[in-house]
Amino acid sequence: MALKDVLGQDRPIEILKKSLRADRLSHAYLFVGEEGIGKAFTAINLAKALNCEKKGDFLEHGLYGDEEIDSCDNCSSCIEIDKGIHPDVLVIKPESDRKKEIDQKKEGNKKKESDEIKIEQIRMAQERFSLRALRGRRKVMIIDNAHTMNISSANALLKTLEEPTEGTIIILISSVPSLLPETILSRCQRIPFGLLRKEVIEGFLISRGLKKDEAYLAASLSDGRIGRALRREEVMTLEGRDNFLTLFNSVKEPFFNISPLTEGIAKGEEERLGEVFDWGEIWFRDIVVFKVTGNYDLLINQDKKKEIKDISERLSLNQLQDSFRVIYETAKFIKLRANKHLALDVMMIRLVETLVEN
């Protein structure tokens, strides 16, 4: 992959390529925008373009001309940067993020990883970047989720931003830049990244071999975030929708027993439980949208048109909005480590009160 493979971010890529061509790169950038839209992907591929063994000479001697400003993606430098083992490119992120990449919560692993970027990580990076580049032309420090730096980490980084080492480029990535100190913000060139159009994401997923209906579903659920669409491709299943609809349809039964239904779902993996809530929000979203517009084309659950239409005619907007709120609040409580089984039971009781008794 290279800069040309960044989806739907034409303006940021244009800015970076223009700076590359003119050899007028800032010593520090701040890539801002929602999670999962290509900020980190762009940062990695900028590092590759800067240190590419095959095309780097064009950059070093200003010889690009009409040559594409990008990496070759297949030299040893590009490959090492992709693998995270290039000596002149360093990616810093919270311990918890690194842990997720290495070990997706192996059963029995109870160790709590920090959600912060610690001062030790910044100091290690400063020591490493105090030396000249070992192999590449530029040393590139990428700080992902930069807003998770604690005060000590941010203060330590500030010294590097104030007195940058020659040939070093620092790229901060954040979806919440307001959490960064003004002293950091003022020393970085800010480059905003936007959400992607659904059609762009859908086309990309189809190119990866996903069926058209599956790609449409993942793109519709992504909220313009390619990273979320890729995760949906892996974990968002119709089983989650079936689990939610089992709960939802049981509300209509006059004497249903709550606990056996919720107990089975509560015992499932946390990721799968979250999927049930995601589907619940999507389900009520579709019903509300159809009730207001009467347009089937706006539905995510395209295979449930009749059921959605029937429910939209039976329930009022207030009932639908209250139901959505119940599901949203329950998901929030569970994220705060509430008892999952009890939270699901309470959710079902509140749904009965909202949908049946009103």
Residue 148 sits in a domain whose CATH number is: 3.40.50.300
Domain co-membership, 230 together with 242: no
Residue whose C-alpha is closest to residue 179's, from 214, 145, 132: 145
Is the model's pLDDT at 52 over the cut of 60? yes
**Are 64 and 95 within one domain?**
yes
pLDDT at 245 over 50: yes
132, 167, 194 - which closes a domain: 194
- Which CATH number is 318's domain given? 1.20.272
Residue 279 has a pLDDT of: 84
Same domain, 213 and 260: no
Q: Is the pLDDT of residue 110 over 50?
A: no
Distance CA 277, CA 59 (A): 49
Is there a single domain that holds both residue 223 and residue 242? no
Per the model's pLDDT, the better-predicted residue between 140 and 332 turns out to be 140
Amino acid at 291: K
200-209, 232-241, 279-288: least confidently modelled range: 232-241
74-79: average pLDDT: 94
| pLDDT for the residue numbered 261 | 53
Q: Is the pLDDT of residue 59 over 60?
A: no
Indicate whether 18 and 98 sit together in one domain: yes
What pLDDT was estimated at residue 192?
98
Residue where a domain terminates, one of 194, 224, 247: 194
If asked whether residues 230 and 177 sit together in one domain, one would say no
Task: Grade residue 266 by pLDDT with cuts at 50, 70 and 90.
Answer: low
- Judgement on whether residues 20 and 69 belong to the same structural domain of the protein: yes
Average pLDDT over the chain, rounded to whole? 84
- Split at pLDDT 50, 70, 90, the class of 55 is confident
Same domain, 139 and 203: no
Record the pTM: 0.71
pLDDT of residue 248: 81
Asked if residue 259 and residue 227 are part of one domain, the reply reads no
Task: Indicate whether 328 pLDDT > 90.
Answer: no
Asked if residue 108 has pLDDT above 50, the reply is no
Look at 24-38, 262-276, 305-319, 323-337 and tell me which has the smallest mean pLDDT.
262-276
Domain boundary among 165, 194, 223: 194
Q: Which of 40, 2, 9 is nearest to 171 (CA)?
A: 40
In percent, the amount of the chain with pLDDT more than 70 equals 82
Encoded tokens for 111: 């160790």
Residues of the domain holding 208? 196-236
Number of domains in the chain: 3
Task: Quote the pLDDT of residue 270.
Answer: 54
Please report how the helices 340-355 and 317-335 are oriented relative to each other, as an axis angle in degrees rounded to 10. 170
What's the pLDDT score for residue 66? 47
What pLDDT shows up at residue 263? 62
Are residue 228 and residue 251 in the same domain, yes or no? no
What local confidence, expressed as pLDDT, does residue 290 receive?
95
Res 29 pLDDT > 80:
yes
Predicted pLDDT of residue 100: 55
Say yes or no: 33 and 169 in one domain.
yes
Distance CA 283, CA 320 (A): 10
Predicted local distance difference test score (pLDDT) of residue 107 = 43
For the residues 70-74, what does the mean pLDDT come to? 92
Buried b (16+ CB within 10 A) or exposed e, 10-44: eebbeebbebbeeeebbbbbbbbbbebbbbbbbbb
Which region among 39-53, 83-97, 142-156, 255-269 has the lowest average model confidence (pLDDT)? 255-269
Q: Residue 148: what pLDDT?
A: 94
| CA-atom Rg of the chain in angstroms | 24
Q: What residues contact 292, with CB distance under 8 A and at least 6 apart?
A: 317
Range from 22-31, 98-107, 232-241, 339-348 that averages highest in pLDDT:
22-31
Q: Which residue has the higher pLDDT, 57 or 20?
A: 20
Torsion of CA 200, 205, 208, 213, to 10 degrees: -130
Confidence band of 255 (pLDDT split at 50, 70, 90): very low
More confident residue, 170 or 99: 170
Q: What is the pLDDT of residue 21?
A: 86
Q: Do 328 and 180 have their domain in common?
A: no
105: pLDDT confidence band, cut at 50, 70 and 90? very low
